[in-house]
Amino acid sequence: MRDGKFMNAVSSEFRLIANVPMEEREGCSADDYEGLEQVVSTSKNDEGYDIRCFKETQLILEKPATGAKKILAKLYISIDPHVSLILNILEIGWIQHMIELGNTRWTNSKTSTGRVTSHPDSYSTQVSQTRRSQSAVFKHAETDIIAQIEQRVALVAGVGVEHLEQLVMVKYSPGDYFKEHHDGPFRSHTVLLYLNDVEGGETVFPNLHFAVKPIGNSALYWRNTTDDGLADFRMVHAGVCPKMGMKYVVNCFFNVEPVRTQ
């Protein structure tokens, strides 16, 4: 990091609740997770917070046809397991496009289960008491902008776009939540796009002892599996509710199998 001074991106008033059974955790308030470490954010702050950021790098994207370059800041929150935050990932207009497209198709969010290697067509999906939110699904390359977002996400994740499942935008209102869960060993990587700044609404990793505050136009990246292809349960996470306003995210799941139909 440049000088170790970034605005803190997570409440410092958390506590770890590792011994409370999952079914007893509402997960809709950051107060349930006091005592977790602070992590990175986007801008400098003269107060000099202690930041849990091991390394800052850059992702340089280039268009071969023109040589045009786009530089993205990548902040490592954890090295092992790999958890990083990529800033300013989307182009101007892409976020508004997704929100406008999704506003006509919100449904109650569901959870998916599948085998270790599982194609999305074989998932079992159902409304679950572990989560409360609204979701909107985008078909592969549904629009030119959706196709560009898919390509951008695959590029920064380092995984072929053919493994990227359909993008799922999720809207959280105050009181909504997604209790602790693992994205599944059939999904090797996850990229979580934060579309807007919001008060509260952290993504909590209780087994890693930190939580990440949503930062508009950023992407949180992690691996769900070990090198042996097994579920890495260090990556269990939860989404807490925003204190006010709406929280918009997009789940970008990379399947272990190719899943695209086009």
Please give the backbone phi and psi of residue 153, each rounded to the nearest 5 degrees, phi first: -65, -45
Q: What is the spatial distance between Cα 56 and Cα 43, in angstroms, rounded to a whole number?
A: 13
Tokens 């579309």 sit at which residue? 195
Domain residue ranges of the chain, discontinuous segments joined by +: 78-254
The token pair that represents 151 in the structure block: 């390509």
Q: What is the spatial distance between Cα 198 and Cα 54, in angstroms, rounded to a whole number?
A: 25
Give the list of residues 6+ apart from residue 66 with CB closer than 8 angstroms, or none.
none
Candidates 2.60.120.620, 3.40.630.30, 1.10.260.40, 1.20.950.20; CATH matching 78-254: 2.60.120.620
- pTM reported for the whole predicted model: 0.79
Closest CA to 170 of 83, 88, 255, 98: 98
List the chain pLDDT tens, one digit each, 262 residues. Answer: 233 322 233 332 222 223 333 334 444 554 666 556 545 543 433 444 334 556 778 888 888 888 888 888 888 888 899 999 999 999 999 999 999 999 999 999 877 554 545 555 555 555 566 788 999 999 999 999 999 999 999 999 999 999 999 999 999 999 998 899 999 999 999 999 999 999 888 898 989 888 888 899 999 999 999 999 999 999 999 998 898 999 999 999 999 999 986 6
